[in-house]
Amino acid sequence: MTNKRPQVVRNTRKDLPDRAWPSGVTITFMHRIDQIKQFQRQTGRFPREDDPNGRWIREKRTVGVTVSQGKVLDRELPGWRRKPKRARSHSFEEHIEGLRRFIAKHKVLPNDFQPHGIFLSNCRAGSIVLTPERLDLLEGLHPDWRRGARAKTPGQIEFDQTVAQIRDFLLREGRYPAPSEPNGAWLQNVRASRWIAEKLTDEERQTLDRELPGWSMKRPIRNRKPFEEHVEGVVRFRAKNGRFPYRSEPEGVWFASVRRYLIITPERKALLDAKLPGWDGELPRSRGKRIRPNLRLVA
């Protein structure tokens, strides 16, 4: 008998169907190559950079690949290292026709992320020479092309959606969300960050003022429940469970505060004695701690 332990093979690649593949070449890598080869069979060229596969090739060409990945690419996609020729730029008239089609479809001017949006921004900024003939084309395209309303960007759409969600929360709960609640951290950052405040456009600030009154307050007034409603909540909990609530349960934090921290007036003490007998006595252990009774009573 021998005392040798069986050899353990570590760091085996489970995503490789063929052990002969070089290191660093995964199924995802080869699947991307198959997509590009299929595109080449259909079009006779590599995908352009506005296509996800085209951006993938550009990343491999500029950022770099491992030696094994480069060998696979050279074998499967010959010519991938050559930078593709830049696509022919549109003429001024072609941009105008594209803008006309966009306006007819969307009823607004395009933003910088949409077709012909950069061209329109360059015209507004004076980066393109505007002859009288070109100015006539722009005026015929849209009479207020210099300051007209443009389609909202993805960031502006997300801003409007977030504001709408916070407004729904405000109408439902009667308060603004805390930082730990959905959209609460976003609202806190908008309030506190000077950099974000400077980036807000006049339209976005008007939207906040209109949809979220008092949004800029550091500590917005919370819509707290009356003392009597908390008492009724504890009464219902005790009738259902036969005991007082713990901190992690409904009304538990409030009940613990009543027993230890809140100042109790004679009227409130009488209400607690009537509704919750034994509220100020010793309670069973909860998580290894014995709760002390509240001694902050107001005569």
Residue 75 pLDDT > 80? yes
- Whether 150 is covered by a domain: the verdict is no
- Whether 154 is covered by a domain: the verdict is no
Residue 288: predicted pLDDT: 47
Shared domain for 228 and 293, answered yes or no, is yes
Percent of the chain with pLDDT over 70: 73
pLDDT tens-digit series, residues 201-217: 777 888 888 888 777 76
Shared domain for 173 and 239, answered yes or no, is no
Q: What is the distance between the alpha carbons of residues 187 and 213, in angstroms, rounded to a whole number? A: 13
| DSSP code string of 167-192 | HHHHHHHSSPPPTTSTTHHHHHHHHH
- Whether 97 is covered by a domain: the verdict is yes
Q: pLDDT confidence of 283, banded at 50, 70, 90?
A: low
Residue 19: predicted pLDDT: 43
Residue 1 pLDDT > 70? no
Q: What is the distance between the alpha carbons of residues 245 and 231, in angstroms, rounded to a whole number? A: 12
Shared domain for 174 and 231, answered yes or no, is no
- Whether 20 is covered by a domain: the verdict is no
Residue 18: predicted pLDDT: 44
Q: Which range marks the domain in which residue 195 is found?
A: 160-211
Shared domain for 169 and 203, answered yes or no, is yes
Shared domain for 70 and 40, answered yes or no, is yes
Shared domain for 64 and 99, answered yes or no, is no
- Whether 54 is covered by a domain: the verdict is yes
Shared domain for 207 and 235, answered yes or no, is no
Residue 241: predicted pLDDT: 85
- Whether 256 is covered by a domain: the verdict is yes
Shared domain for 230 and 296, answered yes or no, is yes
pLDDT tens-digit series, residues 104-150: 887 777 776 667 777 877 887 777 777 888 888 878 777 777 766 66
Q: Are 264 and 257 in contact (CB under 8 A)?
A: no
Q: What is the distance between the alpha carbons of residues 231 and 166, in angstroms, rounded to a whole number? A: 30
Residue 12: predicted pLDDT: 43
Shared domain for 230 and 293, answered yes or no, is yes
Residue 67 pLDDT > 80? yes
Q: Which of 58-72, 126-140, 184-198 has the highest mean pLDDT?
A: 58-72
Shared domain for 67 and 97, answered yes or no, is no
As a whole number, mean pLDDT of residues 11-32 equals: 59
- Whether 202 is covered by a domain: the verdict is yes
- Whether 46 is covered by a domain: the verdict is yes
Residue 179: predicted pLDDT: 79
Number of domains in the chain: 4
- Mean of per-residue pLDDT scores for the chain: 74
The alpha carbon dihedral of 178, 182, 187, 190 has a sign of positive
Shared domain for 253 and 278, answered yes or no, is yes
Q: Are 120 and 108 in contact (CB under 8 A)?
A: no
pTM: 0.36
Residue 22: predicted pLDDT: 52
As a whole number, mean pLDDT of residues 243-255 equals: 78
Shared domain for 123 and 172, answered yes or no, is no
